[in-house]
Amino acid sequence: MSDDARDAAVKVVRSLQAAGHSALFAGGCVRDALLGQQPGDYDIATSARPEQVESLFANTVAVGRQFGVVLVRMGSHSFEVATFREEGEYHDGRHPAEVRFSTAEADARRRDFTINAMFEDPVAGKLLDYVDGKADLERGLIRAVGRAADRFAEDKLRLLRAIRFAARLGFELEPETFNALRDNAEGIRQVSAERIGEELVKILTEGAARRGFELLDESGLLDLLLPELTPMKGCEQESRYHPEGDVFVHTLSCLEFLEKGCSESLALGLLLHDVAKPRCAKMKEGRQTFYRHAVVGAHMAADVCTRLRRSKATAARVSFLVEQHLRHCSAPDMRASTLKRFLRQPGIDELLELARIDGLASHSDPSHYEFCRNALDELEDESIRPKALLSGHDLIELGFEPGPGFREILQALEDAQLEGEVASREQALELIRKRYADPRLDPASAKKSGTDS
pLDDT, tens only, 219-278: 999 999 999 999 999 998 887 778 888 999 999 999 999 999 999 999 999 999 999 999
Is the pLDDT confidence value at 426 over 70? yes
Q: What is the mean pLDDT of residues 418-433?
A: 91
Q: What is the mean pLDDT of residues 397-414?
A: 86
Is the pLDDT confidence value at 283 over 60? yes
Q: What are the chain's domains?
A: 3-133 (3.30.460.10), 392-446 (no CATH)
Predicted local confidence at residue 453, as pLDDT: 35
pLDDT band at 60 (very low <50, low <70, confident <90, very high): very high
Rounded-to-integer distance, Cα 294 and Cα 325, Å? 7
Rounded-to-integer distance, Cα 273 and Cα 323, Å? 8
> What is the pTM for the complete model shown?
0.87
pLDDT, tens only, 378-393: 998 888 999 999 988 8
Is the pLDDT confidence value at 394 over 70? yes
